[in-house]
Amino acid sequence: MPGKGEVVRNNVRRLRFDAAEMTQEQLGKLAGATRHTIMAIEAGKYDPSLLLAFRIARAFGKGVEDVFIFEGEQLPS
């Protein structure tokens, strides 16, 4: 779970529409999740596990960072 000042945003909805208007149900089946989970991820109400994030990215033929964007403070060098 992100800490204070950290947010995970995603491009799942846009990528679904770019993928011939894939439904939440179709993406869920490809990623091994329910439609409700996909809906919650798109709405920003749920952050997926690392495994599910990889499965979703793979369903689109993308890398995880193309689908999920971490916004927060930079770690010290």
pLDDT attached to residue 4: 72
Average pLDDT for 9-21: 97
Average pLDDT for 57-65: 98
Model confidence pLDDT, tens digit, residues 18-47: 999 999 999 999 999 999 999 999 999 999
DSSP characters over the chain: ---TT-EEEE-HHHHHHHTTS--HHHHHHHHT--HHHHHHHHTTS-PPPHHHHHHHHHHHT--HHHHEEEESPPPP-
Q: Is the pLDDT of residue 73 over 80?
A: no
pLDDT attached to residue 77: 66
In sequence order, the β-bridge partners of residue 10 are 68
Q: What is the mean pLDDT of the chain?
A: 93
pTM metric for this prediction: 0.87
